[in-house]
Amino acid sequence: MNCELCDNPGSDILWQDTLCRVVLVDNADYPGFCRVILNRHIKEMTDLPPPEQHQLMAAVYATEAALREILHPDKINLASLGNVVPHVHWHVIPRFVDDPHFPNPIWGEMKRNSAAREVPGNLAVLLRAALTARLG
């Protein structure tokens, strides 16, 4: 079986341990969009033992906190769909009221054209440091 998240890292790795990794997704419309990806192929959260569920969610929460600290979004969206890629992973998406889809999910109907958002040029460096401070 081929799995996109097993076969490649999934983008720019910001932090990782033996259980999971946090990657920065290259998406100009959604700067700071991250994924928290389990490092082995498991389909559902409840297939993980409870300590690993908690450890994975700690990484999701740390990612949310880091994004809030650095980008000050209007909202953070957390999503775990897996319909296309049935591998445990979480989307952590900073949202702004002027982003192309707000208030819809980013996979929903577009509401406006893309708006250029000013973000730190060293966003990945800042996120790496914030995640390391929170997760070790």
Which residue segments constitute the domains of the chain, with CATH numbers given?
4-135 (3.30.428.10)
Mean pLDDT of 118-130: 94
Q: How far is CA 19 from the centre of its chain?
A: 15
Mean pLDDT of 96-103: 92
Starting at the earlier edge strand, list the strands of the sheet with 20-24: 12-16, 20-24, 34-38, 89-95, 75-79
State residue 8's pLDDT score.
86
Is residue 2 pLDDT above 90, yes or no? no
Report pLDDT digits (tens) over 17-58: 999 999 999 888 899 999 999 999 999 999 999 999 999 999
State residue 83's pLDDT score.
84
Strand partners, 5: none
Within 10 angstroms of residue 109's Cβ, the number of other Cβ atoms is 8
Mean pLDDT of 98-119: 87
Q: What's the pLDDT band for 15 if we cut at 50, 70, 90?
A: very high
State residue 61's pLDDT score.
98
Report pLDDT digits (tens) over 58-90: 999 999 999 999 999 999 999 998 888 899 999
